[in-house]
Amino acid sequence: MTPPISSTSAGQGQAQARPVKPLWVALGFVLCAFGFLGLVLPGFPGTVWFVLAAASFARGDPRWEAWLLSRPVVGQLVSDYREGRGMPLRAKWFACICIVVAVSFSLGRIPVLVGQVGWVLVGLFGLYYISLRVPTKR
């Protein structure tokens, strides 16, 4: 038989969980910064960072998650992802072109053949995932 949990040990568990919540919120803001960079920089994805930021805010403070979801463009992107709606066809094309360009330009900078093959495989997996696994939003 396990001994019952005393109120002091239960209180300690709650006290240990509280310091973690601000870390989730801080991580959410860092991920949001990457997401906003993705909206401005060509070839840098934004949606992935916003989805991760929303998940971090949900663990840290639901008010920040609600704030992120209320943003005009960002909220729609995250909601579409969460509801399984997928990506618009134009965005899929753009993402695939960016993968091909990024892999092509960086391939010559990798000095080892094994690294080059690995990098091409990562790019091919990205193309496969976006084109065949992510639903196309109509």
Which residue ranges make up each domain of the chain? 7-82, 87-137
Asked if residue 7 has pLDDT above 70, the reply is: no
Mean pLDDT over 73-83 rounds to 86
Lowest-confidence segment of 64-68, 75-79, 91-95, 96-100 by average pLDDT: 91-95
pLDDT of residue 124: 94
pTM confidence score: 0.62
Instruction: Summarize the confidence of residues 121-128 as an average pLDDT.
Output: 92
Start-to-end C-alpha separation, the chain: 57
Question: CA–CA separation, 3 vs 119, rounded Å?
Answer: 54
- The whole-angstrom separation of Cα 65 and Cα 100 is 33
Mean pLDDT for all residues in the chain: 84
pLDDT, tens digit, 9 for 90 and up, residues 37-72: 888 877 677 888 898 999 999 999 999 999 999 998
In degrees, rounded to 5, the angle at the alpha carbon of residue 42 between the alpha carbons of residues 76 and 103 is 115
